[in-house]
Amino acid sequence: MLRTNLTHITSEEDFSKQINDNENVMVCCGRMGPMCIPVYGIMEEIEPQYSNVKFFDLEFDAPHSHVIRNLPECRGFYGIPFTIYFKNGKVVKATSSIQSMEQVTSILDEQFK
C-alpha cells in the first residue's frame, strides 16, 4: 500500500467503480520513489481546491495495476508514475514521469472545468 494521504484504488472492481461513478477522476499509478512522491504531494495539496475531481493513487506493483499499465494511452510510457485523467470513465489525458504543480493543474483546468 502506498504511504500517501490519497484514497487508494484497492482492486480492479474498485477501479471500475471509481471511474464510472465519478465524472472527473485523476489516478496516479506509481511507487514510493523520487519521481512519484512529488506527484502524490501535488494531488494531496490540490485535492481540497478541486471538489469536482476525485483523486486516487494505485500501487504500480499491485496485481490490479494492469488496469492502468495496459491502457493504450500508456503504450510508450517508460517512466513512473503513470498519471491518468478520466472523464465519465474515459481517458482524456495521460502523462508519464514526474510532473510539476503547473502541469497537473493545467490539465485539470483544461479537462475538467
Partner 1 sequence: MDYDVIVIGGGAAGLTAGIYLSRAKVKTLILNEGTIGGQMVLTHEIANYPGVENVSGYELSNIMKKQAKSFGCEIKANLRVTNLQLQDEIKSVEVNSKDVYTANAVIIATGGKSRTLGVPGENIFKGKGISYCATCDGDFFQDKEIIVVGGGNSALEEAVSLTKYASKVTIVHQFDHFQAVEHAILEAQNNPKIDFIMESTISHFYGDEKLHEVDIKNLTTGEITPKEIDGVFVFIGYVPNTEKLKDTIRLNSFGEIIVNQNYETNIKGVFAAGDSIQKKYRQITTAVADGTIAALNVIEYVNIQKKELTEV
- Residue 109 binds to partner 1 (criterion: CB under 8 A): no
- Residue 42 binds to partner 1 (criterion: CB under 8 A): yes
Angle among Cα 11, 27, 82 to the nearest 5 degrees reads 100
Residue placing its CB nearer to partner 1 in the complex, 102 or 113? 102
| Alpha carbons 57 and 10: distance in angstroms, whole number | 9
Q: Taking a C-beta distance cutoff of 8 angstroms, is the pair 2, 32 a contact?
A: yes
Which residues 6+ apart lie within 8 Å of 92 measured at CB?
A: 85, 86, 111
The cell numbers describing 96, all together, are 508519464
Least distance (Å) between residue 17 CB and partner 1: 28
| Alpha carbons 88 and 54: distance in angstroms, whole number | 12
Site string (50-79) toward partner 1, x via CB under 8 A: -------------------------xxxxx
Least distance (Å) between residue 28 CB and partner 1: 13
* Given 62, 95, 107, 108, the residue binding partner 1 (CB under 8 A): 95
Q: Which residues bind partner 1 (CB under 8 A)?
A: 3, 31-38, 41-42, 45-46, 75-80, 95-98, 100-102
